[in-house]
Structures are given as C-alpha cells and as structure tokens.
Amino acid sequence: MTGIIYGSSMGNTEAAARIIKDKLGDGAEIIDVASVSAKDFERFDMLILGTSTWGVGDLQDDWEEKLPELQKADLSGKKIAFFGLGDQQMYGDSYVDAMGLLYEAVADSAAVCIGAWPTEGYDFTVSKAVINDKFIGLALDEDNQSDLTESRISEWMEGL
C-alpha cells in the first residue's frame, strides 16, 4: 500500500497529491501531514512525500512541525518518493528546497529513495533538491508552469 503524505498551505500541494492518488487508485491513501504520527509513516510499503517551499527555502509549516515524527519512524526497506512545489522565477535560488529538506531527513535511514527527475525545462539557479544534476523527486511550479503539472506527474509516476 502507498501512502501519499503532503503538507499544503495554499492548496496546490494538496491538489498535486490528489492527482497522484487518482492515478494510483485504490492502492493508495492520501493524508495531510498535519495529522500524522510516526506510525503513519511506518504502515505503508511505499511513501510519496509532498511539500511546498515557503519563503526562501523553508519547509511548509505542517511539515516543519511533523518532521521529528518522520525522523523517528522506522523506514527500513520502504521506498520513498518526493514531490515538491515552488516558484522558480521568484525563488530561483531556493527552488523546491523543502523537497530537499525532506530528502535530507530520510537520507540516512534504511529507506530506498526513488523518483529522481531531470532538471531540464526549469529555470532556477540552485536547489537543495538537486543531487547529481537531478531533482531528488518531482518538481512542480504552479505559479509559472501549471500547464505542465499533470503531464509531469504522469511521466514521473511511470518511472516509479
């Protein structure tokens, strides 16, 4: 079973999580991170974690509060994929940094991180979510490239 756990302040990350859920169907559950505990992270075989980036590279507020729950969860053997939303034009020097912060929170666990995504087609300067010239997960920009959201989600999910 797949758990899609997201944090959304303005609704864009929630909307992306719902698109992902619709594409996965009955084998997935969607949960707002505001209501999770460490046990929620542990009960799924695969996790898809989504967040928006606030200010200059900050985690979404609910993720900021629940990050300790993620870090204390036993993630051994779990597959984890990430998706992040940001504004690459206004915040090109911290584009989807929050997705990178989520990755950093689980990078030393026994989980297997999947779903790297190419940086081509984006216009940003630097991001904590880029490792080896790829995003560690799906990067979305509802402010500047909303017309690409659904197709990017579909293509990304084919690779999962």
User: What distance in Å separates the CA atoms of residue 111 and residue 94, rounded to the nearest whole number?
Assistant: 25
Banded model confidence at residue 129, pLDDT cuts 50, 70, 90: very high
Tokens 């087609």 correspond to: 121
Q: What is the pLDDT of residues 134-155, one digit of tens each?
A: 999 999 999 999 999 999 999 9
pTM of the model: 0.96
With a CB cutoff of 8 Å and minimum separation 6, the contacts of 108 are none
Sketch out the chain's domains with CATH numbers.
2-159 (3.40.50.360)
Residue % of the chain over a pLDDT of 90: 93
Measured in degrees and rounded to the nearest 5, phi and psi for residue 37 equal -130, 175
